[in-house]
């Protein structure tokens, strides 16, 4: 059974599905407007130096977004076995 973890804990270049977004309505609406939805497949493409933002690719919609670590901690994902 896959394990839930925050986006910040996901290894680089491994695929995962967004399971939930913790936080207020504003965070959920902002991510939705940027093309990130619950159930989408995502992957971390890179990490900023000195605890900078994460570059997250949405494999479902084809969009890419830099996400700050505070927001990344609120996005719960479930890692997939095969990307």
Q: What is the pLDDT of residue 83?
A: 46
Closest by Cα among 13, 28, 4 to 79? 4
**Predicted pLDDT of residue 1:** 64
Domain CATH for 25: 2.30.30.90
Over its length of 83 residues, how does the chain's per-residue pLDDT go in tens digits? Answer: 678 999 999 988 889 999 999 989 999 999 999 889 999 999 999 988 888 899 999 999 999 999 999 999 999 999 886 54
Domain that holds residue 35: 4-79
Number of separate domains in the chain: 1
DSSP percent split of the chain into helix, strand, coil, nearest 5: 20, 35, 45
Name the residue among 60, 71, 83, 77 with its Cα closest to residue 4: 77
pLDDT at 3: 83
Q: Which residue has the tokens 């493409």?
A: 45
Contact 66, 81 (CB under 8 A): no
């Amino acid at each position: 059974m896959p394990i839930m973890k925050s986006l910040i804990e996901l290894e680089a270049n491994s695929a995962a599905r967004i399971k939930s977004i913790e936080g207020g309505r504003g965070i959920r609406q902002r991510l939705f407007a940027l093309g990130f939805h619950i159930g989408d497949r995502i992957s971390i493409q890179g990490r900023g130096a000195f605890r900078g933002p994460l570059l997250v690719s949405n494999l479902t919609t084809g969009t890419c977004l830099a996400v700050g670590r505070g927001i990344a901690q609120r996005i719960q994902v479930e890692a997939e076995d095969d990307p």
